[in-house]
Structure formats: structure tokens, C-alpha cells
Structure 1
């Protein structure tokens, strides 16, 4: 089934190079001050993967991306073209020279690169927005980023269609769970780091939006870091005996065999009750699109039924 987002990614839209706004330059306020653009940008460099995702959802292929190859490995969707996108170094230390060579008319970054803000602004107008910061709601920030980039590039209608499909998906998956009698159940979302430790997603993270919108309860009530997760040992999961344990891929090689022999694992209530559910991989530190992907994957996993092991 071809989704609306897939169709949007294939359809041209928005401003063309050289077009100017008829009412003159426009301004936006952001985390580092005020940004002024005399025309919609068409050569955009994204210095984090959430910004890359947002541009692709708007049908914009950035001319440069930080950690380009890593995006294809970890984020995957929406996908980057195989050619035509330059790598501009790492997300933590992008190459100013590589960015300058691309002659961008907009750079999108976050507060993590605050020490280089003035240098980036000297290369091109720079929009700074941080999705993951203490006290922030990642989904609200991601929505704001998508809409602001849409306004800058003349694609607001497209952004609203993306958000409308997201909301429709969340409503649809919530109904599927309710029909199966799973409304209100506690769920713990985890990634395995090794055979004894997991990253578990807390209430202040991006994934909380998925649980809320699906009518599920986050079984992990402890606070997380500003990225929205905690790292804990398997024994801590015993404190949530009624939880469904959703194990998000990927998992370390050989994990299933190791856990089968682990007393930390085999005595967990979720394991003994066959309430372990594999869930397809999604990027937990992205923008709006991982929410749609996780909503589908988590619902499919819960409806498929649980087990006592991981894949």
C-alpha cells in the first residue's frame, strides 16, 4: 500500500531556485536569534538526522548531510537518494570547508553545535532548533521544525498533509488495539545494549507520544535523561510485573541464546508470562516520522502475540 507520505516524497512541490517572496524578505525567530531570508532556500544543509528527515518529508533533498551514511543505517526512512547528497562530516563536528563548498542558502542545526554557531552563520543563514533538550517536548519541537521549514520553503500545505497522515495512522492503530482489548495496558519499550542492560524509554522522550496516542501506559515511570531514556539492568524490569516488554530491533548478535541461559532474564515476570514482543527498528531520536513507524510496528507486534524470548 502506497502511503500519502510516499506519494509526497515522489511529487515535486514548493519554491524553485531564484524565486523571491513578493512581499520582500521574511524573518523567523529561533534559538540563536533571528533568521532573515529574501527567498525560499533551495540548497539546504542538515547537520542532524531529525532535520534531514524533516526536509525529506517536505520533498526536499538536502545538498549536504552530516553523517550521511549513518542516516541510511540507523534512520533509514524516509530514505536519502543514492547520489547527489554530500557528506559534510560528523554530526558532532561537521566540516566547515565541506559545507562552504556546497554554497548553501540555509543550514539547519541544533544547540549541540552552539560553539560553531557564528561560523555556520557566516557561511549561510542558519536555523537552530533543538528537539532534545531538558524540559522540551520532542514531538512538539519536531512538529515546529517541520512547519517552520515548510514555511521557509513554501511547502506548508505539504507539511500539513504529512501531519494529517500521521494523526490518521495513530487513530487507526489505537482503534486496532482497542478492538483487541489492549487499551490501557502497560508497555515497556526497550533496546538491548548487551545481555544484561537495556535502554528503556521514559515519559519525557519521543516515544511517549506513541504510547499516549495509542492509549497505552508507559510501564517505566522513572525519569529519563533529556534524550528520553534510562539505561538499566534487566533486574529493574522485574518492578513492572504486568508490563508487555516491547523489544525494539536491532538486538546484539547471539542475544536470544544468551538470554535463554540468563537467570536475570528467565525470572522476569514478563518473560514467564510470555509477554515479550519483537518490534521493528525505528530511530528514537528523530522527528515526526519515527512516531508513525513505531505506532504501526508496535501495534503489529502486540497483536501478533507475545513470547518468552527475543528474535
Structure 2
């Protein structure tokens, strides 16, 4: 599922971030439950009045001063840094980020690619001499200690079962604390709230209050179409009620907040409107699925209520991506 998405202009957010970027996402129960002793400042460097303490999945990490050389091993947190006006020292899989995460500014040429998100190069990370690493549970649970030996490492869970939307907001604020940009975090969230309110107003004006919506993504694996429906625990699931909409899907969530279904599994939500993301060169909703009579007989297919969102709409990102999700949903339902 790799494709070059069309650019989206999130004017207020982009302008604020572009001005702030330098050269150099209510805490979930999962975060607050993280055990372990606080991470101390390096030996010989006391924690003075300027010390910063951040709570994350591994407990608490205390920094002597705001971090300035940050490596992000998950796209969500790389986006968060840009939203805070901080250019990261290193990011995992920059090419993939540019393809899938189209909301917000791009990384400066000086930002180093440190390998894949699942298996970053520890040697490359260490060579950057970071004073902070930010990663996710799903990527780095196994090698957290190795990362933490290189630099203080914050671990969060972007797929928190308690709600990815609230997790995104809380994590942005915590990263803002770690890099000394708490005010920027508040401003980014305020801008996001404004974008959501504007999208809701468009939906209200278009007579879509209370509309039932199903949000999905699709792709091909081993020659077969795969459909994953997003539950209430995801960012789109958290956005829908704020947009005055209703998530028609009530299925059980997997570890990422989605439900993998076949065509028959979509029968309970066929009277809703289906909004989806798929790669332009692998759009199963426009190619393989319509060849199946079961799909063609679903009410949303018969009624023309199946709408593609921009392929670069990333459902698992930070404030830029979340604003883009809201904008794309409003566009799809009112155009």
C-alpha cells in the first residue's frame, strides 16, 4: 500500500509549525499504569529547578533540561515534534512517512533516516547523539533497554484501547513537556479543535447531523481483498461524535483498534455511508470488491454511499493528521 498522495493544505496548522521549526498526541490508563523507577539524569548532571519529568509506559523519565536532539521511531511522534515546532534529529522510515502521512510540513533535509520503525538501526541512532528517543510499545517493547541505554527513552502506545484520540492529545502534551514546548502543544491542540469545529459546521450546514458512518481501510494480501473497519477506540472513531456523526460499526477491536471483516461482515452497517482509505494502485473498494455480487447488493454500494478519502489520510497520526481526517470526512459527506 504505497502511493504518492495529493498534498493537502492545512493552512493554520502548517503556518504555525513552519514558523516555529528550528534547524537543530488526558493520559490513558495504559500510560499511567507503566511501572518502573524514574529515569535519572546522567551521572554528574543534577536535576535542578529546570528538571522535567514525563510519565510514560515505562514509568517516569526525568530530564535535566528540555531535549533538543530528539529521535522519533514512530511516525505519530515525529509528526508531534513538527507540530511543536521541533525538527527531529532522526526519524524512522522518512520515505514511508512522506507517502502515508500527508498532513503537516515535511522534514528538513538535515533529518536523518534511522531505518525502519520495527527495526531501526541502533548504530545510526547512537551516532546522532540524541538527548531523547521517543518510541511506541508496538515497535520497541523488546529493545527498549537498548534504546534507553543510548538516551532517555519515552514509550507510548498510539493504539491505546482506552481511546487513540485522547491518547494522541495526551502524548502531544507530554512530548511538549519533554522538549520545553508546553505552550506550543496547547496551541496545536487549539488549532486542531478549531479545524474539527469548522468541519462539524460544514456537516451541519450540509444536513449531515447524526449521519451513520462506517470508516474503513482496504488492501490486497495474497491476492485477496482485506477490509479493516475502524472502531470507536481509533482516532476516526473518537472524531465522529465531535463531528456530529455516529459510528455505525460496533464490532470488536483488534490490537490496533480495527475489525477485520469479509463482505458478509459489512451487512450490519450497510445502511450507513462507507468512507475508506486505500492506495491508488490497490483500491479494493473500486476494483475487486465490486466484482462480488454480495458487495454489489449491500445497501451502501447500491445507493452510491461508498466514498474514498484521500490515500494520504493517515488514521494513526498526530494533530495534523487528525485535522486532515476531519476535513476529509466532511468533504466526502458534503461534496
Which moves more between the two structures, 257-266 or 235-244? 257-266
Matches within 5 A, 1:1-311: 3-12=11-20, 23-81=49-107, 83-112=109-138, 113-133=140-160, 135-194=161-220, 196-253=225-282, 255=284, 256-281=286-311, 282-304=313-335
Structure 1 contact 65–87 (Cα < 8 Å) conserved = yes
Q: Which protein, 1 or 2, shows the higher relative CO under an 8 Å CA cutoff with sep ≥ 6? A: 2
Is there any run of 5+ residues in structure 2 with no aligned partner, and where? Answer: 1-8, 25-45
CA distance in 2, matches of 1:42, 1:60: 8
- Secondary structure, aligned partner of 2:315: coil
Distance (Å, rounded) in 2 between the aligned partners of 1:277 and 1:299:
11
- CA 2–261 in structure 1, closer or farther in 2 if over 3 Å, else same: closer
Q: Which TM-score applies when normalising by structure 1? A: 0.89
SS at match of 2:275: strand
Query: 5+ unaligned residues in a row in structure 1: which ranges?
Result: 305-311
Alpha-carbon spacing, 1:140–1:264, altered in 2? closer, same or farther (3 Å): same
- Give the drift of 1:103: 0.3
CA shift for structure 1 position 218: 0.9
- How many residues get paired? 300
Q: Distance in 2 between matches of 1:72 and 1:204?
A: 26
Report the TM-score, using the length of structure 2 for normalisation: 0.83
Root-mean-square deviation (CA), in Å?
2.3
Deviation at 1:40, TM superposition (A): 1.2
The Cα shift of 1:183 comes to 0.8
Q: Which moved more, 1:21-30 or 1:188-197?
A: 21-30
Distance 2:283 2:136 in 1: 37
8 Å CA contact 1:44, 1:104 repeated in 2? yes
Distance in 2, matches of 1:248 and 1:254, equals 8
Q: Deviations over 1:49-90 (max 9, x none)?
A: 111110011111111111221111111332432511111121
Cα 1:291–1:77 change in 2 (3 A) is: closer
Going from structure 1 to structure 2, the CA distance change for 1:302 and 1:42 (only over 3 Å counts) comes to same
